Amino acid sequence: MSDKGKTEKYVPLPRNRRTEAALLRIFEHGTERELMQYMRENGLKDENPRFAEIVKLFREHAGKRR
Rounded to whole angstroms, the Cα distance separating 56 from 17 reads 22
φ/ψ region of 35 (left if φ > 0, alpha if ψ in -120 to 50, else beta) reads: alpha
pLDDT digits (tens, 9 = 90+) for 7-56: 556 667 777 889 889 999 999 999 999 999 999 999 889 999 999 999 99
| Statement: the pTM of the whole predicted model exceeds 0.85 | no
Q: What kind and span of H or E run contains 62?
A: helix 49-65
Domain residue ranges of the chain, discontinuous segments joined by +: 17-65
pLDDT of 66 strictly over 90: no
Helices first, then strands: H and E counts in the chain: 3, 0
φ/ψ region of 43 (left if φ > 0, alpha if ψ in -120 to 50, else beta) reads: left
